[in-house]
A and B are shown apart, each in its own frame.
Chain A
Amino acid sequence: MTKAITVSGLHKSFGRTHALTGLDLDVDTGEVHGFLGPNGAGKSTTIRVLLGLLHADSGAAQVLGRDPWADAVEIHRRIAYVPGDVTLWRNLSGGEVIDLYGRLRGGLDTGRRAELIDRFELDPTKKGRTYSKGNRQKVALVAAFASDVDLLILDEPTSGLDPLMEEVFQRCVEEERDRGRTILLSSHILSEVEELCDRVSIIRSGRTVETGSLADLRHLTRTSVTAELAGEPNGLASLPGVHDLAIQRIQNSQGKRVRLQVDNNELDAVLRSLTTSGVRSLTSTPPTLEELFLRHYQDADADADTGEVAAR
C-alpha cells in the first residue's frame, strides 16, 4: 500500500525548547489515521512541518510523495487543512472565505458546498467577527470537505462543535474515506477516534510512543483482574508484568481478595498462579480506551530523560 505521509526521525527545536525529538509517522493512502498525544506533545508542530510552514532541523518527511518544504505549493493543491483554532477576517463573510479557500486549492464542488452548509447548519452570510468558535470551525470544515483533494489534515477540528455537529463531522469523515481520501486526524475526543480511525499514532514529548490499530494497542496494554481466593496468594508479587497489586483479607473468611493489573502477555502466568490458591470468583476487565490513553499519556518515567518538551 502506498503511503500518504511518511515521517522518520523528525527533530525540531525552538531555541532551547525541543518540540520534536525523533518523531515517526506513517499514514497509508485511504486510511483515517488518528494522531494523539497530550497537550504540548508536538502534534501541531508536526502538522506545521507537514504543511511546509516550519522547516525541520533533521529527519525525513514526505507528503503525497513529495518534500513538504520544497514542494509546498504543489502538495497544497492536493490537501485541505483545518486548524484547531480558526481565525477569520472580521469583514469577510463565511461564504466568501469558503470560496476563497476553495479557489486557492484549485477547485470547489459547489453542490457539495451547498450540501455541507446545509448539514452543518452554517449561515454563510455572517461576517467573520460575529461567528462563534464552533461556527468558525464549521467554515473551515465546509471549505475542507467541499474541496477536491486527496489528503485532509485536521488538527483538533471538532473543538467547539456541539454533539449533533460532531455527528455530522463523523459522517463527513466516513464519506471522505469511502471516496478514497486519506485523513490525518489529530484529536482528544476518544469516542471520535474509536469511531473513525483505522490506525492511530500516539506521541509524547515529541516522539512516537505507539502506533497501530486500536486492537493492537489494546493487546499491548494491561488487563485489570479482581479475584477472591480460598487461600494465600502464591508469589504473585514476584511474577513479571504484575502491577498495582493489592491483597485484602475478606472478613469472616480465610480467603483473600486480590486486585492487580497485568500486562496482557503475562496474563496466562498470573491465572496459573491464582488457580493454585483456589479461585472463588474472578473478574477480568480489558482496558477501556480512556485507560489506554491515560497510561500512554502519563507514563512519563519511560522518557524522563528527554527533558522539557513543548509544542508551538
Chain B
Amino acid sequence: MTTFTGTGVLLRFSLRRDRVMIPVWVAVNTLMVLSIPNTLKSTYGTEAERTDLVHQVATNSSFRALIGPVFDDSLGALTAWRVGVYAGALGAVTALLVVVRHTRDEEESGRQELIASGAVGRRASLTAALLAAAVASAVLGLLVAAGLAGQGATGAVAFGLGLAAVGMLFATMAAIVAQLTESARLTRGLTAGVLGGAFVLRAAGDAASTDGSSVLTWLSPLGWLENLRPFAAERWWVLGLFATAVALQGTVAYVLAGRRDVGMSFLPTRPGPPTGSLGTAAALAWRLQRGSVLGWSIGFFLAGVIYGGLTDGAADLVGDNKQAREIFERMGGQSGITDAFLASMTGMLGLVAALYVVASVLRLHGEETSGRAEPLLANAVGRVRWASGHLTVAFAGSVLIMLLAGLGFAAGYGKEVGPILGACVVQVAGVWVIGGLTVLLYGLTPRLAPAAWGVAGAVLLIGWVGPALDIPQAVLDVSPFGHLPKLPGGEMEWGPVLVLLGVAVVLVGGGLAGLRRRDMTT
C-alpha cells in the first residue's frame, strides 16, 4: 500500500487550504435547502393547495423541465422536488472544484512536483483530493439530512445521501478529466460542461414524462437523484447506481493517472504561432478574456431561451396560487403575471451578470498579483490604458450578455421583443454600479479587491431572497438593482437609471485615479 503513503497528511493539508471555501459552499447550499420547507409552508400551506400544485406540475411540462417531477404532496417531497436538482448541481460544483484544485491546479502550477518528491505515494494526491471532496459532500449530506429530519427521517437520509452521491459522481468525473487536459481551467470548464449536459438531459426527459421514467432522465445523474424519490417511497437501489458509477469512474481515473507522467496529459497542448499579432494592451485584454465572454454569452442566450419558453407555462402555474403570485409580483413589481415573471427573470439574469462583471474586472487584480502586469507596465503602456482594456471587456461585455439574454427571451417567448430587450439592457445600470465598485476597490485597496465577490453575493441574496421574505425596503434599497424600473410592463423611469450610470462612472473614475497614484503590488 505504499502507493497511498502520505494520503493522510495531504488530506489534512487540503482541508486546511479549503477551510474557507468548503464551509462557504456547503453552508450556502445547506441554507438554500433548509429555507425551502418554510417558504413552501407559507405559499402552499394547506393540503388542498399542495395537491393542486402536484396536479399543476403533472400537467405543466415546462415546469417539470425547470425543476423536475413531483412524487408526493408532503412538505418533504415538495422540498426535495423544489430544490433537489439545484442543490445536487451546487454540490457537484463544490466537489469538482475541490478535486481540480488539488489535482490539475497543483500540477499546472508546479507545486505537485515538490509534493511528489516527498515521501508521498503515487496515488496519494488523487486519493487526498477525492477524500477532500468526499468530506465536503458528506458534510453537506449530513447537514441536509439533519435539517430535514423533521419532514421524515427516512426521506431526509435518502435526500442527504443522494446529494452526497451526486457530489462524488462529479468529483470522480473531474478526476478523470484532470488526467486528460493540461489546464486546470479547461478541466473545470469540461466537467462543468458535463454537469450542464446532465441538467439538459434531465430537463428534456422530465418534460417528456411525468414520473422521471424517460430514458433521457436516466442518462443524467441529476435524474438519478430525483428518481431516488426522497420522502416518496424511496428507491434505495438508485444509490447502488451511484456507487457503481463512482467506483467505475474512480477506477478509470486511477488507471489513467497511473499511466501518465506528472504534469503531462492525454490530450497534449497544441503549439501556438511562432509570431504574434497582438500589439496593444487592449488587444491582449480581449485575447485573455474572449473565452470567458463567449462562455457567458452562450449561457445567457440559452438561459433567455429557456426562461422565455417557460414564460407562458409559468404564468399559468403561478397564476393559480395567490402567495406564489404575490412573490413574483413583488419581484417583478407589477400586477400582470406574465410581465411580472418576465421582469423577475430579467432581473435575475441582471444579478448573475454582476458576477460576470466582478470576475472580469478582477482579471486586473489577477494580472497584477501573478506578476504578469509588472513587465507589461515596464513597456510604453500607461496603467490607465492597461486597465481600460480589461474594463472595456468587462463593461461592454455586460451589455453584450444582457442583449443576448434578451434575444434569447425573444426567441423563446416570441412576443414583446422590443420591451424585453429594453428590460434586459436596463439591468446594465445595476451591473455597472457593481463593476464600478469593484474597480474602486481594486484601484484604492488592491488587497481588498476580492471583497467585490462578497458585494456581488450580498446583492444576489437581496435580489433572490428579498422578495420572498418580504424584507424591509431599506435593505432592498442597498442593492442598485432595487432602484431599477420594473420592466417589461412597468413605466420606464430614466431618473434612477441615469443616477446609477452616474454613480458607476464616478466609481470607475475614482478607481482609476487610485490606480494611477498607488504602488503596484507583486
User: Given B272, B278, B377, which contacts A51 in the complex, CB threshold below 8 Å?
Assistant: B377
Chain B residues with CB below 8 A from A130, complex form: 182, 269
Residue of A nearest to B372 (CB): A87
B517 to chain A minimum Cβ distance, whole angstroms, is 8
Q: Does B284 contact A (CB under 8 A)?
A: yes
Taking a contact as CB atoms under 8 Å apart, the answer to whether A129 and B274 are in contact is: no
Q: Does A169 contact B (CB under 8 A)?
A: no
Taking a contact as CB atoms under 8 Å apart, the answer to whether A127 and B372 are in contact is: no
Considering the complex, which residues of chain A in the window 78-94 have a beta carbon less than 8 Å from any beta carbon of chain B? 79-83, 85-94
Taking a contact as CB atoms under 8 Å apart, the answer to whether A93 and B269 are in contact is: no
Q: Does B381 contact A (CB under 8 A)?
A: yes
User: Given A48, A83, A106, which contacts B380 in the complex, CB threshold below 8 Å?
Assistant: A106
Residues 354-392 of chain B, each 1 if its beta carbon lies under 8 Å from chain A, else 0: 000000000000000011101111111110000000000
Residue of B nearest to A75 (CB): B380
Give the segment of A20-28, A96-104, A287-295, A299-307 that binds chain B: A96-104
Once A73-B380, A124-B274 are accepted as A-B contacts, the answer to whether A140 and B375 lie under 8 Å apart by CB is: yes
Considering the complex, which residues of chain A in the window 212-234 have a beta carbon less than 8 Å from any beta carbon of chain B? none
Taking a contact as CB atoms under 8 Å apart, the answer to whether B377 and A126 are in contact is: no
Chain A residues with CB below 8 A from B284, complex form: 100
Chain B residues with CB below 8 A from A85, complex form: 371
Residue of B nearest to A104 (CB): B379
Taking a contact as CB atoms under 8 Å apart, the answer to whether A101 and B379 are in contact is: yes
User: Given B272, B276, B372, B519, which contacts A54 in the complex, CB threshold below 8 Å?
Assistant: B519
Chain B residues with CB below 8 A from A72, complex form: 377, 382
Considering the complex, which residues of chain B in the window 261-276 have a beta carbon less than 8 Å from any beta carbon of chain A? 269, 271-276
Bound: A234/B478 CA distance, A: 88
Residue of B nearest to A77 (CB): B380
Taking a contact as CB atoms under 8 Å apart, the answer to whether B276 and A96 are in contact is: yes
Residue of B nearest to A51 (CB): B378
A56 to chain B minimum Cβ distance, whole angstroms, is 10
Taking a contact as CB atoms under 8 Å apart, the answer to whether A95 and B275 are in contact is: yes
Once A96-B278, A99-B278 are accepted as A-B contacts, the answer to whether A126 and B382 lie under 8 Å apart by CB is: no
Chain A residues with CB below 8 A from B281, complex form: 104
Residue of A nearest to B270 (CB): A127
Taking a contact as CB atoms under 8 Å apart, the answer to whether A53 and B272 are in contact is: no
A142 to chain B minimum Cβ distance, whole angstroms, is 12
Taking a contact as CB atoms under 8 Å apart, the answer to whether B519 and A104 are in contact is: no
Taking a contact as CB atoms under 8 Å apart, the answer to whether A129 and B276 are in contact is: no
Chain A residues with CB below 8 A from B287, complex form: 92
Chain B residues with CB below 8 A from A92, complex form: 272, 276, 278, 287
Chain A residues with CB below 8 A from B269, complex form: 127, 129-130
Chain B residues with CB below 8 A from A54, complex form: 519-520
Taking a contact as CB atoms under 8 Å apart, the answer to whether B272 and A127 are in contact is: yes
Q: Does B277 contact A (CB under 8 A)?
A: yes
Taking a contact as CB atoms under 8 Å apart, the answer to whether B276 and A83 are in contact is: no
Chain A residues with CB below 8 A from B377, complex form: 51-53, 72, 76
Residues 172-188 of chain B, each 1 if its beta carbon lies under 8 Å from chain A, else 0: 00000000001100000
User: Given A51, A76, A88, A99, which contacts B276 in the complex, CB threshold below 8 Å?
Assistant: A99
Interface centre among B183, B371, B380, B381 (most CB of A within 10 A): B380
User: Given B108, B378, B522, which contacts A312 in the complex, CB threshold below 8 Å?
Assistant: B522
Bound: A254/B379 CA distance, A: 71
Q: Does B27 contact A (CB under 8 A)?
A: no
Taking a contact as CB atoms under 8 Å apart, the answer to whether A104 and B182 are in contact is: no
User: Given B275, B370, B375, B376, which contacts A99 in the complex, CB threshold below 8 Å?
Assistant: B275
Chain B residues with CB below 8 A from A88, complex form: 372
Taking a contact as CB atoms under 8 Å apart, the answer to whether B519 and A73 are in contact is: no
Q: Does A105 contact B (CB under 8 A)?
A: yes
B128 to chain A minimum Cβ distance, whole angstroms, is 23
Chain A residues with CB below 8 A from B379, complex form: 76, 101, 104-105
Q: Does B280 contact A (CB under 8 A)?
A: yes
Once A76-B378, A104-B281 are accepted as A-B contacts, the answer to whether A125 and B519 lie under 8 Å apart by CB is: no
Provide 26 A-B residue pairs closer than 8 Å at the C-beta atoms, listed in order of the A residue: A51-B378, A52-B377, A53-B519, A54-B520, A55-B518, A80-B378, A83-B374, A86-B375, A92-B276, A92-B287, A93-B272, A94-B272, A95-B275, A96-B272, A98-B276, A103-B280, A104-B280, A104-B281, A124-B275, A125-B272, A125-B274, A127-B272, A129-B108, A130-B269, A140-B375, A312-B522
The 6 A-B residue pairs whose C-beta atoms are closest, nearest first, are A93-B272, A96-B276, A104-B379, A81-B378, A125-B271, A103-B279
- Residues of B at the A interface (CB closer than 8 Å) are 108, 182-183, 269, 271-281, 284, 287-288, 370-372, 374-382, 517-520, 522
- Residues of A at the B interface (CB closer than 8 Å) are 48, 51-55, 72-74, 76-77, 79-83, 85-101, 103-106, 124-127, 129-130, 140, 153, 312
- 6 extra A-B contacts, CB within 8 A, seeds A93-B276, A129-B182: A54-B519, A72-B382, A81-B378, A83-B374, A90-B183, A95-B272
